Structure formats: structure tokens, C-alpha cells
Amino acid sequence: MMACQSENNVPIVGRDQVMRGREMHWLRIDRYYSAPPEKLKYFGTFNIEDKQQFDEWIDDVQVVTQPMLCQHCEAAPCENVCPVNATVHDQEDLNVMIYNKCVSTRYCSNNCPYKVRKFNYFDYNKRSFDIGKSLYMGPFHKRKDDEWDLLKMSKNPDVTVRMRGVMEKCTFCVQRIAQAKIAQKVKAGESGDVVVPEGTFTTACAQACPAGAIVFGNLKDPNSKVSRLKKLPRDYTVLDFLLTKPRLTYLAKIRNQNANMPDYYKTGWPYTFEEYKDKMGNPFEEAHPEGLNGAEPGGEK
Ligand code: SF4
Ligand code: SF4
């Protein structure tokens, strides 16, 4: 998220605006909680009598995280509701925004089933640097020259700095794609070999992810890593039934299906920490026999 924010000049809006639902991140991490069915009944029906059981459950859920960004849908529902065609496919079938065409109807955001479009409510770049001063100083606010210089140094010069009243979203780091294409064209010269080789560049989020969980590449090349991953049986599309045909797909999480392995879970339900501990022992105690931060093993951590 942070890599995307700094690469793409995404404004940091502050706590007050986040509380009003106006966060601007182009990429968010969704969290899903799961637990065996007998524990799931506490979720959503919380009442005070169940508090103890609820506490037990909430301390022992399994969490799955899922990065959620623009899916670059082939049949993009955000595009056909825009009255001014400010969001369209480009020649490479990316779903792109033309900021200076956007007239702020926000229809696209209403029609995006993945809720990944973010509206720029204020000209955040005209906000005072002084904490506690007003959020937006108005269109005629004069910022001191040295303040502008400081602000400019924090921006990526390859990406537009948006103003208020435009819809924003992930571009698949289109500036990086353009740079790679230009560099390849220069390198190719008269040979005409302008296809950017795999691995030349990637998006900011993929570059920053230490686990390599995000893979970006050329879908037209059947041998690219992303094309090969997409052929795996565990590849799936979020909200598949809406037929938006996203380019971005996910790989299902692998759980151990081998009944001979000690961490195999026979019912097929995801195991929680308590269940794991019963079968495998407490991994924290093995890793920290003295306890964490000097706490007694088995004590509060
Ligand atoms: S994910 Fe949303 S914003 Fe992105 S192309 Fe699909 S409908 Fe449009
Ligand atoms: S591909 Fe680029 S713009 Fe899209 S979420 Fe990743 S870093 Fe942000």
C-alpha cells in the first residue's frame, strides 16, 4: 500500500477524512476471518451474554488477507456509466482514467463492484503543512515558494498530481509500462523488436511485496510467469458471477491435503491456532523457550 501511495502521488488524507470514508489508497488489504462452524455462530450475533465465548472465538480465528485494487475488467461496469467517457480501455486493454475529462459524477465508483475507485474530495496538495490548521486553504491560497519546493520533492515526477473533483484508481503503474516501452523502442532501433522482455520492470506493489505475492506481466505471452500462474487450477476471479472478466485474478490459498502429514486437517475446515497447537504444539514456546519479552512460557503474550 505504501509503495503504491508513494509511487503514484496518492494523497495522505489524514484521520478526520478517513473517518468520513474518504481514504484515497488505490490498493487496500481486505481481511477475511474464518473459524469452524460451531464458532462462527458468534459472529454477527454478538450479545453481552455470549461475550466470553465471543472473546474465545475472536482470539482464535484464522485470517486470510487479500490485496484489492482495480481488477482492470474487460467488461468494465465503471466505463459504460461515465457520461463523458473519462474512463476507458487503452490500446493494451488497461482500464485508464482521463483526469481532465472527469466531471465528478462518481457514477463509476457506484458501479464498480470491487469498490476500488477513490474520489478526490479536496485539493490535498493545497493543505497547510501545519498540523491543526484547516484541511483545505481554498483555490486562491498562496503557498510559500519554499513550501512548494518541499512538496514537489515528495512527488514522483512521472505521475500526475491530481486535484480535487476527480476519480482515481490503480493504473497498473502505467508510467512504468510506458517507460519500459520507450526504453525498449530506443534499444530496438531499426531491428523493430519492441516487445519488452519479461522481468524488465514490475509495478510498485509487486516490487515492494517481500513475499512476492503479486505477479505482474504480459498476458499475451503464453510463457510469461503470469500466464503460467493463471493456468493453475487454483486461479480464481473475485465476483466471477458478475461477468466483469477481470484481468487481475487470484490464487487460492493452499492447505495441506495429504492425510499422512501431521498438519493435515481432516474435516477440510481451516484450522485455527488452538487446533494447530493441540496437534503440533505451541510454535511460540518452541521458538522462545524463555517466553516472549521475558514473559513466562504459556503466560500472557
Ligand atoms: S475493478 Fe472497478 S474500477 Fe476497475 S475496471 Fe473493474 S469496475 Fe472499473
Ligand atoms: S499496480 Fe501500481 S497503481 Fe496499481 S495498486 Fe499496484 S502500485 Fe498501485
Encode 112-137 in three state secondary structure: CCCCCCEECCCCHHHCCCCCCCCCCC
Backbone angles phi, psi at 230, to 5 degrees: -65, -20
Whole-number pLDDT of residue 32: 84
pTM: 0.80
* Ligand 1 proximity of 116 Cβ (cutoff 6 Å): yes
For residue 187, give the 3-state DSSP assignment: helix
User: What does the pLDDT look like over 160-203, one tens digit per residue?
Assistant: 999 889 999 999 999 999 999 999 999 999 898 999 999 999 99
* Ligand 1 proximity of 73 Cβ (cutoff 6 Å): yes
CA of 169, closest atom in ligand 1: 3
* Ligand 1 proximity of 172 Cβ (cutoff 6 Å): no
Distance 193 CA to ligand 2 centre (A): 27
Positive or negative, the CA dihedral 150, 13, 208, 170 is negative
Distance 4 CA to ligand 1 centre (A): 17
Mean pLDDT taken over the chain: 84
The number of beta carbons lying within 10 Å of the beta carbon of residue 222 is 10
CA of 95, closest atom in ligand 1: 5
* Ligand 1 proximity of 70 Cβ (cutoff 6 Å): yes
Distance 96 CA to ligand 1 centre (A): 10
* Ligand 2 proximity of 120 Cβ (cutoff 6 Å): no
User: What does the pLDDT look like over 95-129, one tens digit per residue?
Assistant: 999 999 999 999 999 999 999 999 999 888 777 66
